[in-house]
Amino acid sequence: MNTKQVSETMVPAKRLVWALVTAGVLGAAGGAAAMRGAVAIKTSATPAEAATPASELLASAAPSAQGPAPVATPAPAGFPDFAQIAARQGAAVVNISVTGSVKTSMRRGQQPQLDPNDPFYEFFRRFGVPGMPGAPEGREMPTRGQGSGFIVSDDGVILTNAHVVRDASEVTVKLTDRREFRAKVLGADPKTDVAVIKIEAKGLPTVQLGSTKDLRVGEWVLAIGSPYGFENSVSAGVVSAKGRALPQENFVPFLQTDVAINPGNSGGPLFNARGEVVGINSQIYSQSGGYQGLSFAIPIELANRVRQQIQNGGKAQHARLGVTIQDVNQSFADSFKLERPEGALVASVEEGGPAAKAGLRPGDVILKFKGQAIVASTDLPTLLGLATPGESAKLEIWRQGKREEISAKLGDANDKGAQVASSDEAGPAQGKLGLALRPLQPEEKRESGLREGLVVEDAGGPAAQAGVRPGDVLLAVNGTPVSSIEQVRSVVAGAEKSVALLVQRGKEKIFVPVRLG
């Protein structure tokens, strides 16, 4: 299973697993046996017991004649009262059922290619894909999925994940009192995976929204949702990390937890120890399709901001700077004389974009955005996602060995998104740079649109090990533009541990760190 697991489906009844307590007591070591395909039945049940509700049998299992029946006790000191949180907030958590359709277009016998990011992936994986043998071709086939959500206003406004309601033709919301409502999707923002839906009802229970600002790593958190269709299931854990960046998810500083989250939990709330919602459970990292201890939630401040934008204008807005950035590793830090490997290295600047108008250049390292420190390069898109298009933002940058401040008027990410550049892994190497270079010919300048640069004729030694290839065009060394071999030699001669080479490969510009020794 890929890193992102966002499918929401009901497990068939034949696959349900029920535990049978054989020793007459409840507990992790109580001798539980598992059965598949049917509800477990107590083998020695008397007729009276067989007619008694399960809740009464469980309630009467533990007490004995040796002492009084146990009474409810508060949670131990230092532990949150999960039972109270579930009782107080559970009624505002809803189950969401989604109906959609997919058009069959595959030839009979053709092997399907399933997208793990599709909300109906798990449904297709379990029950087959329309278009396979036996399915009519060229027709709309119904699909179904499930997720969770939570009520944020008593008139029926609900927050959930965008992937839960993506491509849905019908959305049904089921409350804990078993009432069901047809929901309208007010809007969805794929960039943050937040969606807002609404049902026509009044006087509904609502959750209390909290803040992640004071949330600490190691604090208790609790999730309520519908994993595999089991409505209002509660699971608990701790905050594992804050501000976690995930691949292709540049606009969200995720909360990482070890709370048990499974398909169906998506869109459900994550509560802190005070019973306040601090996040929306959105993704898991899994190689099996199920929980493996790595769960990710969207911070509630970001989700609520998106909700307000959708309710006010029908869509969410995110700011754009117009740069391609890379992470600053130790080699880049050594090359640019930075004290530590932090910041967002500007690999390229969009022509005519906000960054270009502000004077930002390739080779600049963005250290702060609106006063907020940029530690990892992924911090910048996250902060941009919280900014407003059209506003002016101050950037602290590192340029040619010193700090500078510039101001940029931000654009709209809906027009064109910011990108994060990637490069080949750079490994340690010894010796000289190892490049055979020549100047660009006039026709090459016209074709590439470059004014200056040096073509890599051959690559060996440290440069080749770092990922530089023949055909790359060397544009700058340590942020200094180069147009002659002498310039390259001069800059490299003054470098101590490593150099940062800005190369153009096709239409992409990336920095490649080269360790000199």
Active site residues: 163, 193, 266
CA–CA distance, 200 with 54 (Å, rounded to integer) = 36
Give the number of other Cβ atoms within 10 Å of residue 423's Cβ: 19
DSSP letters for 128-188: --BTBTTSPTTSEEEEEEEEEEEEEETTTEEEEEHHHHTT-SEEEEE-TTS-EEEEEEEEE
CA–CA distance, 277 with 301 (Å, rounded to integer) = 10
Q: Is residue 118 part of an annotated ligand binding site?
A: no
Give the number of other Cβ atoms within 10 Å of residue 346's Cβ: 28
Contacts of 238 (CB under 8 A, 6+ apart): 217, 218, 219, 220, 221, 257, 258
Q: Is residue 193 part of an annotated ligand binding site?
A: yes
Q: Which residue in the block uniquely carries the two structure tokens 């033709």?
A: 169
Q: Is residue 266 part of an annotated ligand binding site?
A: yes
Q: Is residue 318 part of an annotated ligand binding site?
A: no
CA–CA distance, 259 with 222 (Å, rounded to integer) = 7
Backbone φ and ψ for 91, nearest 5 degrees, come out as: -65, -20
The first and second tokens of residue 175, run together, are: 């409350």
The first and second tokens of residue 196, run together, are: 């807002």
CA–CA distance, 492 with 305 (Å, rounded to integer) = 48
- Amino acid at position 230, single letter: F
CA–CA distance, 380 with 367 (Å, rounded to integer) = 9
Q: Is residue 163 part of an annotated ligand binding site?
A: yes
CA–CA distance, 141 with 124 (Å, rounded to integer) = 11
H-helix segments, 19-103: 47-50, 54-59, 82-89
Contacts of 208 (CB under 8 A, 6+ apart): 89, 275, 276, 277
The first and second tokens of residue 297, run together, are: 């939630």
Please, what's the largest Cα pairwise distance for the chain?
Answer: 98
**Could you tell me if 484 and 396 are in contact, meaning their C-beta atoms sit under 8 angstroms apart?**
no
Task: State how beta strands 419-420 and 323-327 pair.
Answer: parallel
CA–CA distance, 98 with 146 (Å, rounded to integer) = 6
- Amino acid at position 454, single letter: L
CA–CA distance, 467 with 423 (Å, rounded to integer) = 8
Contacts of 87 (CB under 8 A, 6+ apart): none
Residue ranges for the binding site for substrate?
163, 193, 264-266
